[in-house]
Structure 1
Amino acid sequence: MSEQIRVLVVEDDADTAQYVRTVLERRGGMDVTVVHEPMSALAEVAANTFDVVLTDIQMPGMSGLELLVELRSRAAGTPVAVMTAFASVDYAVEALRRDADEFLVKPVAAATLLERITALAVEGRAKRAAEGPTETVLAVGAHPDDVEIGVGATLASHRAAGDTVVILTLSSGAIGGDVQLRRHEALAAAGVIGARLYLHDYEDTRLDPAGGVITTIEELIREVEPSVVYTHTEHDRHQDHRAVRQAVDVAARRVPSLACFQSPSSTIDFRPTRFVPVDGFIEAKLQMLAAFESQSHRDYMDPDLVRATARYWSRFGGGQQYAEPLEMVRAAAMLSTKARAAGVTAAPASDIVDERGGHA
């Protein structure tokens, strides 16, 4: 393979971890990242892309088999190999039941380890190439939880389609609580769907498009090259939300598709023209919102209200149970080919009737 293989090794035993690293790096020329517990592994896959994940089964806190389930939702399409020192039939059966790509019994011979990991990487890349190109989508919010409230389920649908999801949050939300806690919550929420999080620390309630915000967004757009950007609507009572929308208008001027989401502070002038079906992704959105425990006292974080809001907007769509509403600024391409094939499609953007009078 011309491109270096990237492997994430999850192993709590230091000697085993060093052995695996040495074999894969020195004999296979691979780029190996080692972590010693599952939560660190989830943080790594949220921030980086790997060709293979190799995990031990018996680890404190979360087992490798439990980690496997999380990886299937957060790093869809990444081959996962599990290994254990216990050659148990039960372990093997459970690993296969949970969709492991490979089951290895310690001690693993160096030649076997190198052969299996290389094969998984080759197969994984071939499968992704056969599935066609994926997209990168960028969601820009003013504060932690803004993006997740507005398009959390839509972002989860993108990840399920294999797209790369990037979240840019411009303020740590100091007015809403402890900054360090809110930063940790934002990282945990992004990890639920395997999104990459970029979190800045512009002053809460005082975001200014001309105060560096436009440049920050432009730099990230150049780095990740999104085909779709989601952000706040201009029809919003919160000054930071309006400032972010103004900044995105400038920074994302060359991005093919731009859509605006609803916030709890959106006004009645929010007039969506597209309703993204999110059946099957509401629970992922609720998991993302649950990560913001410091904000759980707020009415708009209540799971019943979140479900009810999505249920309300679904009546404008194509018969789905849940939908997230979007104001379309422009729409060259909304969702990836794989998402559309899976039924994660947007309702027609034209001729949407607004019950308050006229057309949206």
Structure 2
Amino acid sequence: MANAEQKYRVCVIEDDPDVALFMKTVLEKRADALVLAITDPAKALAGIAEFEPDMVITDIEMPGISGLDLLKELRGTYPDLPVAVMTAHVSIDYAVSALRSQADEFLTKPIASADLVALVTRLAAKGRLTKTAQEPQVVLAIGAHPDDVEIGVGGILAAHRAAGNRVVILTLSRGARGGDADDRQHESLAAAELLGARLFMEDLEDTQISAADPTVGIIERVIAEVRPDIVYTHSAHERHQDHRAVHAATLIAARAVRTVCCYQSPSATIDFRPTRFVPIDGFTDAKLALIRCFESQTEVRAYLEPDFVLATARYWSRFGGGTSCEPLEVIKDTVDISVPASSITNAARLKGERP
């Protein structure tokens, strides 16, 4: 059984409460769908706007507004939303009007349960694909300390932003053991602003981060708020105890997220085994700019020197193509985490380079 976010969202508009209940029951039990049944057609448009369905199925003959009039309204607002219309009164005029109004399907009542399930599953799948293609991805990068995610996936995050995706960073401590906590917080804010990312800054005790609560609860809260498609976090193959703890906590908190990947940090062990190598050609300058925001660290950490950062990305390109890559251990992957080719092309064009 799919979780609530994975279930197809179906809106049934039917003024007969018994028919509406029948359709809702069939679709919830046999199609494992999340169904909003609307029996007052005057509330249909508001309900659809709030529910954001993958497809709509509506009766034609209803008081106040007909299903065909509603279909015209929907086509003006949601041109790609699959809509099926149904009626108990078969006529050529109805069928022609439905087709002219761009209905995806024209049905006659009574509708067999198996036919209803097959139709809704097909149209909802079409609607979900269209909606997913239109919506920007939401990307959540989780780090134990300030600068962790910028070092690990700074280039990938810059590419996500260039592709129009929403980037969120969750930093679980202010890194007091590695410098002044206030300075490091300001540096994190500067990097997030430069990237165009939303920053959640927590204040767990540096070097004492737990793999259980409150860490799991914090990550769950952020995931519930931003609903990410992709989560990047620390690897389990780490010398730093905070990194290992955040990795374990993320796997619990992100159990319903479709794609979870682990990045390399300077404290990763030789057991770090990446299986995805994402080209960041065109975004290495952006990564270096993000790292420069952490001035308190660049002055004392040799691994933050530009030639070190570039050499690391150059090394991983042996496995991923291009001239620079960031490596990832993929925990689960149902969303494309490749850097969009259009982003690389546009970045190269701006720099006057060949993509």
Aligned counterpart, 2:332? 330
* 8 A Cα contact 1:279 1:321, kept in partner: yes
**Conserved? CA contact 1:192–1:284, under 8 Å:** no
Shift of 1:335: 3.3
Tell me what 1:69 maps to.
none
> In the alignment, is residue 321 of structure 1 matched against residue 323 of structure 2?
yes
Which residue does 2:310 correspond to in 1?
307
Q: How does 1:66-215 map to 2 (within 5 A)?
A: 132-215=134-217
Q: Which runs of 5+ in 1 are unaligned?
A: 1-128, 346-360
Equivalents in 2 of 1:266, 1:290: separation in Å? 21
The structure 1 residue matched to 2:218, chosen from 198, 216, 219, is 216
TM-score by structure 1 length?
Answer: 0.58
Q: Select the residue among 239, 242, 253 that pairs with 2:241.
A: 239
- Structural mapping, 1:233-272, within 5 Å: 233-272=235-274
- How far 1:298 moved relative to its partner? 0.3
Alignment correspondent of 2:279: 277
Q: What is the DSSP-based 3-state SS (H/G/I as helix, E as strand, rest coil) of the residue aligned with 2:340?
A: helix
CA contact (8 A) 1:134 1:162 kept: yes
2 CA distance for matches of 1:175 and 1:341? 40
Task: Pick closer, same or farther for the CA change 1:202–1:154 going to 2, 3 Å.
Answer: same
Moved over 3 A (4+): none
Structure 1 CA distance, aligned partners of 2:137 and 2:230? Answer: 8
Shift of the alpha carbon at 1:341?
4.5
Alpha carbons 2:159, 2:340 under 8 Å: kept: no
Distance 1:342 1:269 in 2: 34
What letter matches 2:319 in structure 1? F
- In 2, the alpha carbon distance for the partners of 1:255 and 1:212 equals 20
Q: State the alpha-carbon separation in 2 of the partners of residues 332 and 272 from structure 1.
A: 17
Aligned residues: 214
Please report how far the alpha carbon of residue 233 of structure 1 lies from its aligned counterpart in structure 2 after TM superposition. Answer: 0.3
Q: What's the secondary structure of 1:229's corresponding residue?
A: strand
RMSD: 1.9
* Matches for 1:2-41 after TM superposition, within 5 Å: none
Percent of aligned pairs with the same amino acid? 58
Distance 1:192 1:185 in 2: 11
Cα deviation, residue 159, structure 1: 0.1
Give the letter aligned to residue 306 of structure 2. P
| Equivalent residue, structure 2, for 1:342 | 342
1:136 alignment partner AA = V
- 1:200-257 Cα distance to aligned partner (Å, 9 max, x none): 0000000002230000000100000000000000000000000000000000000000
Indicate if the aligned counterparts of 1:256 and 1:331 stay in contact, CA closer than 8 A. Answer: yes
In structure 2, distance between residues paired with 1:324 and 1:158: 13
**For each residue in 1:69-99, what CA deviation from the matched residue of structure 2 results, as whole angstroms up to 9, or x when unmatched?**
xxxxxxxxxxxxxxxxxxxxxxxxxxxxxxx
Shift of 1:175: 0.3
Structure 2 counterpart of 1:325, one-letter code: P
- The letter of the residue matching 1:175 is R
Contact 1:230 1:260 in 2 (8 A): yes
Report which of the two structures shows the higher radius of gyration computed on alpha carbons. 2
What amino acid sits opposite 2:311 in the alignment?
A
Compared with structure 1, are the counterparts of its residues 160 and 208 closer, same or farther at alpha carbon in structure 2 (3 Å cutoff)? same
State the match for 2:96 in structure 1.
none
Q: CA deviation at 1:344?
A: 5.8
Distance 2:343 2:189 in 1: 29
**Quick one: which amino acid aligns to residue 238 of structure 2?**
D
1:146-179 deviation per Cα after TM superposition (whole angstroms, max 9, x unaligned)? 0000000000000000000000000000001111
Q: Distance in 1 between matches of 2:213 and 2:184?
A: 23
Separation in 2, partners of 1:138, 1:255 = 10
How far residue 192 of structure 1 moved from its aligned partner, in angstroms, is: 1.4
Provide Cα deviations, 1:89-147, integer angstroms capped at 9, x if missing partner.
xxxxxxxxxxxxxxxxxxxxxxxxxxxxxxxxxxxxxxxx9x82111000000000000
Counterpart position of 1:287: 289
Normalising by the residue count of structure 2, what TM-score does the alignment of the two structures yield? 0.58
